[in-house]
A and B are shown apart, each in its own frame.
Chain A
Amino acid sequence: MSERRIRIETPALTRVEGEGRLDVDIRGDRIHRLHLDIFEPPRYFEKFLEGRHYSEVPDTVARICGICPVAYQMSAVQALESAFGIRPSPWVEAMRRVFYCGEWIQSHALHIHLLAAPDFLGFDDVMAMAREHPATVNRGLSLQGLGNALIALFGARSVHPVGARVGGFHHAPTPAEVAALVERLEAAIPEAEALVRWTAELPLPDEAQEFTSVALRHEREYPMVAGRIVSSAGLDVAAEAFDEHMQERHEPHSTALFAAIDGEPYLVGPLARLNLNRDRLPAAVAAVLSETGIGFPSANMYHSVVARAVEILFAVREARDLLAGYREPDSPWVAASPRAGDAAGATEAPRGLLWHRYRTDDAGLIRHARIVPPTSQNQARIEQDLHAALRAGGLDRPDDALRRHAETVIRNYDPCISCATHFIDLRVERGS
């Protein structure tokens, strides 16, 4: 049969955060149309922010995504602090990194074990995988738990933490609480190293593709809460200027916007970060990575899972180092005096670059807000990848095989659809 039209339409993509669907139309040996539908309903966060007091922003933007609320809070406070011209103390800057490390560990461990690994090992879900690989799954769950505990140390809880504020934190943990966590971090280092090796040994497909990586880059540090925005294609701009280069476009099939730089799709996230910042890894982490024999920058999208494990190891060590010799500060925050301003903030969410921009008035009320989450930046790239991957694997495979392959490709990006839908619900007008 030369003419075949299939629609790989899972009712909902499973093991991704949020609601998505893939719609592929294959005619013969051509992909006629391929759409990653994100049909999470629109949530209008930028509009909710208008008229709110700046102090309410961290609690509001956290609700965009339950999996990376810290990232939303950190990009927001950074933008607002810059709008008000305040600079948090070195203690705050260090502890924000720790807080953020917690989210990387939590989110990456969740993705690797609960969402991605079952794909590579051929299980339907983590519950099934746990029956055959209990030690691996338990290691993953305990790393995830450690990440959650780090977030809760500064945020009281790991989902929609309540501790962050413009200027710093509401509360400083006690030295005893910190000491208990340092002990856990210490114990997790060998676990995280083992995880890197384990991901490197996964039966990952060997596929090279061409794509542009985009991430923050900092003079010294592996990027997290500071740096310029750079790309493998030579972009190098301050966070303030990002929107001059990046365009968002609305496609009929998605409530998430599609981002492009100079009209081209690009990749954000752990693989992009590692590709652009391998030289910023601390020696101990770089050594573990070298042992795996996988070279970065890597053109194999599936190396994202290795990059995630490397970032877990990095974050565990980083948090431990930053908490060593912890002292309670006189005050965990500096007061902000609001003023009219307009500034951007960019940090590296677990899923990649997260960019915010706010305009405030002199009473500290938000006049305008714009948020560009990682998943909408990756959306065009995912479709590009799917085109290539499905074709490379052969379009004549049975539907089931195609579907499974496509889901694996999508999941590999760890798309967070709730984030992406600060704009979404798509009724697809599918013309024939």
Chain B
Amino acid sequence: MTDERKPRVAVHKFSSCDGCQLAFLNLGPDLLRLAELVEIVHFAEAGPSNPDADVDIAFIEGSVSTPDERERLRRIRAHSGFLVTIGACATSGGLQALRNLRDSESEWREAIYARPEYIDSLAHATAIREHARVDLELWGCPVDGRQVLAAVRALLFGVPPVEERDKVCLECKRHQTVCVMVARGEPCMGPVTRTGCGALCPRFGRDCYACYGPAEGANTTSLAHRFEGLGLAPEAVARRFHFIHSGQEPFTGAGNEAAGIIPGKAR
């Protein structure tokens, strides 16, 4: 790896809030070190613009929500070696996938835009994997800088990064945080949510709202039941699952079930 050419890296943006790109822009001195280790060929927010260049690693922020984006993604996939999605929007559609749950996109368009005919968007905001092969998904809204750097480092070593799939609870306990569900009755999503953030919310005395998406083996049915036991109304339970990762199973289904959207399973 020493005197070979530096790996080429691109950071692309789709529909998003730009927050995950900050995982790079907030790196501080590591950003400059990173720029020594790799050649950043495309990263519009930081300067270099070269969207169609061939790269070894492409990071993608944002979900696909317009025909243009679908086409752009196709080109990026064709030009990229290892493709990594960063953040909730790219991995599950993110918060804007809430629009997928109702057939209301056009209705909303009319409510917000005086001239809705100017707006050209797809009915759904969807994850990158629905349109292109993805080699690694980094979850989190926003993605964690530590995870992004670990992924870069692993790829520089020529190995796939380790995926973190455990539940937030395990990390919460490693921090010796007092469980907010047991000690305060908060409807914490930690038991079904993927680790990676460092259990920030419980450590700040509040319930996790699942910004890292579903963990492996998430038992949403049992947790939804427990939330009812804590006094949450069915719609409130549904909103717990239909939030940042409403587009990702088993959250989509758990929310639907709580809201009684699936006929037969409705309460």
Q: Within 8 Å of chain A (Cβ to Cβ): is B157? A: no
- The B231-247 residues at the A interface (CB cut-off 8 A) are 236, 239, 243-244
Please judge, given known A-B contacts A53-B239, A138-B29, whether A160 and B112 are in contact too, CB under 8 Å: no
Contact B49 A42 (CB under 8 A): no
| Chain A contact patch, size range | 35 or more
Q: Within 8 Å of chain A (Cβ to Cβ): is B255? A: no
Please judge, given known A-B contacts A41-B66, A42-B109, A124-B47, whether A56 and B96 are in contact too, CB under 8 Å: no
| Chain B contact patch, size range | 35 or more
B binding-site residues for A, Cβ under 8 Å: 13, 15-23, 25-26, 28-29, 31-32, 35, 40, 44-49, 51, 65-66, 68-69, 94-96, 98-99, 104-105, 108-109, 111-115, 118-121, 125, 141-142, 197, 200-201, 203-206, 209, 211, 236, 239, 243-244
Task: Give which listed residue, B17, B31, B201, contacts A418 with CB less than 8 A.
Answer: B17
Quote the shortest CB–CB distance from A41 to chain B (angstroms): 4
Quote the shortest CB–CB distance from B122 to chain A (angstroms): 8
CB < 8 Å A-B pair total: 190
Q: Within 8 Å of chain B (Cβ to Cβ): is A137? A: yes
Task: Give which listed residue, B18, B32, B66, B105, contacts A127 with CB less than 8 A.
Answer: B32
Quote the shortest CB–CB distance from B37 to chain A (angstroms): 12
Contact B197 A41 (CB under 8 A): no
Residues of A within 8 A of B141 (CB): 63, 160
Contact B44 A47 (CB under 8 A): no
Please list 15 pairs of residues, one from A and one from B, whose beta carbons are closer than 8 Å in the complex, sorted by A's number.
A14-B49, A42-B112, A44-B98, A44-B99, A46-B112, A47-B111, A48-B95, A65-B19, A127-B47, A130-B32, A159-B26, A160-B19, A170-B205, A171-B206, A425-B66
A binding-site residues for B, Cβ under 8 Å: 10-19, 39-48, 52-53, 56, 59-60, 63-67, 69, 106, 110, 114-115, 118, 124-128, 130, 137-138, 141-142, 144-145, 148, 156-160, 162-163, 165, 170-171, 249-250, 252-253, 255, 257, 416, 418, 422-423, 425-427, 429
Residues of A within 8 A of B111 (CB): 47
Closest to B14 in A: A41
Contact A69 B19 (CB under 8 A): yes
Closest to B117 in A: A252
Contact B209 A159 (CB under 8 A): no
